[in-house]
Structure 1
Amino acid sequence: MSQDRTTPPGGGRRGLETAEEVAGAVHGLVRDAFTAYTRYHQKKQEQEGKLFGLRMSSLGGCVRECAYRLSGTEPSDSELALDGENRAANVGTWIHEGLLPWMAAVAGNAGYEVKVSLRAGKDTVPGSLDLFVYIDGVLIDLKTGMEYDAHRMQVGGYALACQQDPDRETPRWVVWLQLDRTDRQVREKVVVEEWTEDYALEVLEHVWDIQRHAKAPDEAPRWDAFERPMRGPGLSYVCDGCPWLRRCWGEKAEPGQPGAQAVLAKDDPAVAGMLHRFSVHRSGESEDRGLKEFFRHAATGGGRKPGTYTGPDGTYEFWFGKQGSTPDLDQIRSHYRRWGIPVPMKPTAGKLHVKAIPDGTAGKKPKPRKREGNTDG
């Protein structure tokens, strides 16, 4: 007869009398388990000195964050790395722990969770590569989150570290293996690239770039290895979880709340420039609609007053339409867990209206115009 796996007693009965109370308790149990594992995992990293230092897993991400890590800059928001449920990241860790040993066993002559270090002058960047099938010279990095091609820099870092180590084989192929957890069949996407001198030089030059920025990390660019911008709290999950959030975006920055982007437009010409860019991305079918929101908050965040602003790109006026409402997602999650409660709503800012003002007319009284309360901006 099999034996149950039972943990030590955790206290008396909870007095659950209804199905709703049981459902709420189970939701709380899941939440607390994710949170406990996050704290366990992050504390372990902290003890090993891995939590705030530069590691291979950060290489393709925000250059300013990498500069903070390499320079040893004190985090302004260390709790963002230690607290929270981190559900997606934790599930990804558990998939790695379950899948990688079996992939190595099936492949044969393979190592998994191999500790390596990339050397660049006086600095070393440690990491743990997922899988190296030695017989075929194939280095594999497993990804379980969103597809993000900056992972190319990370897996290249592992390959370069192997090449630098005389006791390790140099890979012939580098692979990032993307598991689609949203697909019912959990299908994989495989991206393969040959490891070449040009690829190695690209990785090394990026590390040198980080080293240069580490001398003045507060001036490092807020973009990734491929110069795509980090859009700040509320618009970028990377910024929302960054241990240097307030140091980077200002003391008023809050995870999940846009508005701190206003630090990028500190005077009237800069505001006008952001309004110009907003207009460009509003008017056309932009491939990246997130830029529209980024420029909106950079121009109007921080309580900036509606009005007329002039800069090198012209003169622009902005105002807000009638305030509307949108579902409060945090409240929805809470109430849905308790069954059948009407969806609560919260106020939203009116849509942003921007108008280019012809030269020589700024400050003049405009002709009366009809403004509809909630028109598209």
Structure 2
Amino acid sequence: MTTDSIAENLGVPVPDLWRGAHRDDRARPRSRQRLLGPSSIGLCRRRAAYELHGTWPTDLTDNMHAAILGTWLHEGILRVLREQYGAWTELELTDGVILGHADAYWAPDSLHRQVVGHEAVEGSPLSDVGVVEDVKTKSTRALDVVVRQGPSQAEWFQVHLYAHLLRTGGLKDHPGLPTGEPLPVDVVRLRYVGREYGQVVVHQRAYDEDVTKQALAWAEDVLASPEPEAMPRDLDGPGLSIICDNCPFKTACWNLDQLADDRAPQTILAKDSAAITEALRAYADAAEVESAAKKRKAKARKMLDAADAGTYGAFKLSWSGGNPRPPEPDPEAMTRILDGLGIDIPMRSGGRTSRTISVSRIPETS
């Protein structure tokens, strides 16, 4: 049975859209590259090392529909930036060690006239500065994180590395722009587009050499690794990090095929008593902070109970819910009725209770 819905079976085979889409996605050049990519820098050193050392993915899934939809949307966005706003798109950049593809580049107006032979069309955003842009499609929830917290360090690393490669002559095999020559970049930009509703959030800043140096130092650490296992896991692991949940190397990284008794993957981090002690310290510290934060939050929530929705300083207040619920079964009443009729109450296995943890600090002795 394919993943395509069939309204009527006429004996005519229906091509499976997603099966073909996944084959197409895995054949893309970026899926097969073995140099370190800017999009991997700043994310997780072990994952980057797996890619660098050519490790075959242990977790190739065929349900990454959202990611493929994002790829298709991404291609349409770049076409608009290219055809409507004069951007140079999908520029291949490399220094022989790092290989990336910058989504969009606007050369300064003077260079644009020199290369193209005429001024930019009306409505073009060209100015006297060079701009490199990376486009990212996000779910509504992920986009909300960007709105609240701004771009991640890894995302700023990525776009700064594109700028660095352009500024150092890393453009290769381009039909329009001069290759192998430094190209001016003064501004780096991140454009986020919501996959569900098309919301757009843009962050841009002046190119910062210090950010590039940090990104290159991160990359050098991975490049020096003798094997992936020599690199630390920089994220919290399956179940705690959506990046780990979707990582093509999560089984190899977290030994998922060796887990027993439904234990969490993170148990492999508690390899000795010192690691367990450190985890207990982290748990106790976090519990104390969480308890104090919950009390402050509860008081603030009570204070806001009568406040109208609206904007207050740097904050926006909105309300949802409060609607009547539909009737629902009453287990206690059903039990009384069955007892009154002398009917045995149907039972099912209760399973096991969830394990709870108690961590307390041992008082120091003098």
Same fold per superposition (TM over 0.5): yes
Deviation at 1:141, TM superposition (A): 0.5
2:35/2:99 contact within 8 Å kept: no
SS at match of 1:80: coil
How far is the alpha carbon of 1:131 from its aligned partner?
0.8
For 1:161, the aligned partner's letter is: L
Asked whether 1:221 is paired with 2:232, we answer yes
Matches within 5 A, 1:11-26: 13-14=8-9
Q: 2:161 aligns with which of 146, 157, 162?
A: 157
CA gap of 1:53–1:79, structure 2 versus 1, over 3 A, is farther
Paired residue for 1:94? Answer: 72
> Relative to structure 1, is the Cα distance of residues 348 and 243 closer, same or farther in structure 2, using a 3 angstrom cutoff?
farther
Amino acid at match of 1:151: E
Structure 1: distance between partners of 2:362 and 2:292:
27
The question of whether the paired residues in 2 share the 8 Å contact of 1:176 and 1:190 is answered with: yes
Where structure 2 has 5 or more consecutive residues not aligned to the other structure, the ranges are: 109-126, 170-179, 295-349
The alignment's TM-score, normalised by the length of structure 2, stands at 0.62
DSSP 3-state at the match of 1:198: helix
Secondary structure at the aligned position of 2:98 is classed as: strand
CA distance in 2, matches of 1:287, 1:200: 38
Distance 2:267 2:7 in 1: 52
Look up the equivalent residue of 2:192 and give its one-letter code.
Q
Q: Which residue of 2 aligns with 1:111?
A: 88
Select the structure of larger CA radius of gyration. 2
Deviation digits for residues 112-167 of structure 1, max 9, x if unmatched? 111111x2xxx522121111112341111011123451211111111111112133
Partner of 2:191: 177
Measure the CA separation in 2 of the matches of 1:231 and 1:288.
Answer: 22
The residue type equivalent to 1:167 in the other structure is E
Residues 106 and 87 from structure 1, CA distance in 2 versus in 1: closer, same or farther, beyond 3 angstroms? same
Aligned equivalent of 2:276, options 268, 271, 276: 271
The aligned residue for residue 44 of structure 1 is: 28
Q: Provide TM-score, normalisation by structure 1.
A: 0.60
Amino acid at match of 2:159: V
Q: Quote how far apart the aligned CAs of 1:347 are.
A: 6.6
- Matched to 1:219, the amino acid is A
Give a deviation string over 1:235-286, Cα, whole Å, max 9, x none: 12222233332332225368xx871111111223322321221121122238
Equivalent in the alignment of 2:116: none
Quote the Cα distance in structure 1 between the aligned partners of 2:269 and 2:7. Answer: 54
SS in 1 for 2:290: coil
Alignment CA distance shift 1:222-1:187 (3 Å): same
Could you say which structure has the higher strand fraction?
1
Equivalence map 1:319-358=2 (5 Å): 349-358=354-363
How does 1:110-149 map onto structure 2 within 5 Å? 110-117=87-94, 119=95, 123-135=96-108, 136=127, 137-145=130-138, 146=142, 147=146, 148-149=151-152
Alignment match, 1:294: none
Map 1:1-16 → 2, pairs under 5 A: 13-14=8-9
Query: Corresponding residue for 1:71?
Result: 53
Shift of 1:35: 4.1
Size of the aligned set, in residue pairs, is 261
1:259 to 260, 264, 285: 264
In structure 2, the residue matched to 1:368 is: none
Q: Contact (CA 8 Å) 1:179, 1:189: kept in 2 or not?
A: yes
Runs of 5+ unmatched residues, structure 1: 1-9, 16-28, 224-229, 290-344, 361-377
Is residue 187–residue 207 contact of structure 2 (8 Å, CA) maintained in 1? Answer: yes
Structure 1 letter corresponding to 2:27: K
Which residue is equivalent to 1:248?
Answer: 253
2:304 alignment counterpart: none
Counterpart for residue 63 of structure 2 = 85
Alignment partners' CA distance in 2, 1:277 and 1:261: 14
Q: Which has the higher contact order (CA 8 A, sep 6+)?
A: 2
Q: Is the 8 A contact 1:253 1:260 kept in 2?
A: no
Question: Contact conserved, 2:35 with 2:97, CA < 8 A, in 1?
Answer: no
- Tell me the distance in 1 between the aligned counterparts of 2:22 and 2:292: 35
- Within 2, Cα distance between the matches of 1:181 and 1:286? 36
Shift of 1:49: 3.1
- RMSD of the TM alignment (CA)? 3.5
Residue 307 (structure 1) aligns with: none
CA contact (8 A) 1:100 1:130 kept: yes
The Cα of 1:197 is off from its aligned counterpart by 3.0
Q: 2:289 aligns with which of 262, 281, 284?
A: 284
The letter of the residue matching 1:14 is: N
- The alpha-carbon deviation at position 359 of structure 1 amounts to 5.7
